[in-house]
Amino acid sequence: MNALARLEAMPLLGSSKAGAAELSDQLAYQVNPDTHPEDALRILICRFLASESTPETLAQLATAEAWATQEGFSHIATRIQLLWFAEIGRTNGEAVDEQLFQTAVDTATRLNMYEIEVHLAKAACISEHRDTHLQAALKQMSEPRWASLAFRAWLDLAAVLHDGSDTPGAEEALVEALKLAKQYNDPSCEIESRSRIALHLIDRGLASTAQPHLEEAQRLARAEEDDLSTVMLSGLLCPMYMSQEAWAEAEQLADIMLVAGARRANWYAVVDGHITRSTLSLIHADPAGAISRLVRATVHLRELVPAAAINILKGRLAELRHQLGNETFDTHYREAMALNATT
């Protein structure tokens, strides 16, 4: 098996994804596009599949398609078109030219090639029978080289089934996506699929079933230093712990929100962390600590964060004043203000 065939056979999930990207870079240097344009185009397709889909990579794909057409490789041009349609149709259906799409599908049918790509493109671009096309594609995507596209297809299928009110079907699809992520040891995909499962379960009112997924996804997100996922998952988990009176876990998550929220500049997550810690102080019969934390946050974050975030802290202080009574609150509040003035 030559290097290019090996590259095309590599699964584009988990650790082998990085390996595939590396190999495609190596091959891109080795292959002369003037003498071996077909090989160069195949490498470009692999690079596209191994990378995140962005407007830039989609634009590169369009350029590759023009090149393939120019070179007379209609089969490669058709595959590129189908991959482009499959991607663009998922996010921006209006950008799909129906005539061009139909031509690509017809060409693929005539060539008797790219059945999977045709199903994926149809699922993305045609509003009817999306689930049927995705299921048909997934049936044929058992080989490792399809892992990345299969993972995405399972997530898409879950969304389609969810929209069609097939909630058990949607959950099964998400679980299949999770299986793939675990099989290829891809933490990023695991975080995504677990988050989707958890949100799906929360929507169904099954928060306690969602909790293990949230915990595992949050642990992975922290390990991957994925602050966005960390903030999101902690924000969902923290109220669950609070409602279960799991104070230690809630406190830990509040601290995580303070750090990850500040790193993302999501100041509402930081405020949420402060309010949670303050509430825990109150629960532990420490009203002075509860007030002091909010006062300290309000004073220290002024001008550094949106006024809206400060307003939330002020609103919470007012709530505590109402809850504790004016006299008790004002005593602790004065102390906290004085302490902050001196520091």
Question: What's the closest the beta carbon of residue 116 comes to other proteins, in angstroms?
Answer: 20
Contact pick of 79, 130, 296, 316 for other proteins (by CB under 8 A) = 316
- If one asks whether residue 260 binds other proteins (CB under 8 A), the answer comes out as no
* Separation of alpha carbons 97 and 103, rounded Å: 10
Q: Tell me the Ramachandran region of residue 51: left when phi exceeds 0, alpha when psi lies from -120 to 50, beta otherwise.
A: beta
* Separation of alpha carbons 43 and 24, rounded Å: 6
- If one asks whether residue 338 binds other proteins (CB under 8 A), the answer comes out as no
Tokens found for residue 120? 């994926």
Q: Point out which span in 35-43, 55-63, 76-84, 107-115 binds other proteins (CB under 8 A).
A: 55-63
- Report CA 177 to chain centroid distance, whole Å: 13
Contact pick of 9, 100, 175, 308 for other proteins (by CB under 8 A) = 308
Restricting to residues 232-251, which ones interact with other proteins according to CB under 8 A? Answer: 232, 235-236, 238-240, 242-243
Question: What's the closest the beta carbon of residue 296 comes to other proteins, in angstroms?
Answer: 12
Nearer to other proteins, 3 or 282 (CB): 282
Residue 86: CA count within 13 A, CB half-sphere: 27
Contact pick of 22, 55, 66, 179 for other proteins (by CB under 8 A) = 55
Nearer to other proteins, 118 or 197 (CB): 197
Nearer to other proteins, 34 or 303 (CB): 303
* Separation of alpha carbons 143 and 153, rounded Å: 14
Contact pick of 14, 37, 89, 261 for other proteins (by CB under 8 A) = 261
- If one asks whether residue 164 binds other proteins (CB under 8 A), the answer comes out as no
How many residues at the interface with other proteins, by CB under 8 A?
Answer: 73
- If one asks whether residue 279 binds other proteins (CB under 8 A), the answer comes out as yes
Restricting to residues 4-43, which ones interact with other proteins according to CB under 8 A? Answer: none
DSSP 127-190: STTHHHHHHHHHHT--SGGGHHHHHHHHHHHHHHHHHTT-HHHHHHHHHHHHHHHHHTT-HHHH
Nearer to other proteins, 154 or 184 (CB): 154
- If one asks whether residue 289 binds other proteins (CB under 8 A), the answer comes out as no
DSSP 253-311: HHHHHHHHHHHHT-HHHHHHHHHHHHHHHHHTT-HHHHHHHHHHHHHHHTTTS-HHHHH
Q: Point out which span in 102-110, 111-119, 143-151, 268-276 binds other proteins (CB under 8 A).
A: 268-276
Tokens found for residue 260? 């990850």
Nearer to other proteins, 19 or 239 (CB): 239
Asked if 191 and 229 touch (Cβ cutoff 8 Å), the reply is yes
CA nearest neighbour of 174 among 158, 186, 187: 158
Contact map string, positions 60 to 99, toward other proteins, x by CB under 8 A: ------------------------------xxx-xx----
Question: What's the closest the beta carbon of residue 333 comes to other proteins, in angstroms?
Answer: 7
Nearer to other proteins, 109 or 323 (CB): 323
Q: At what angle do helices 130-139 and 147-163 cross, to 10 degrees?
A: 150
Asked if 104 and 85 touch (Cβ cutoff 8 Å), the reply is yes
Restricting to residues 168-227, which ones interact with other proteins according to CB under 8 A? Answer: 192, 195-196, 199-200, 202-203, 205, 207
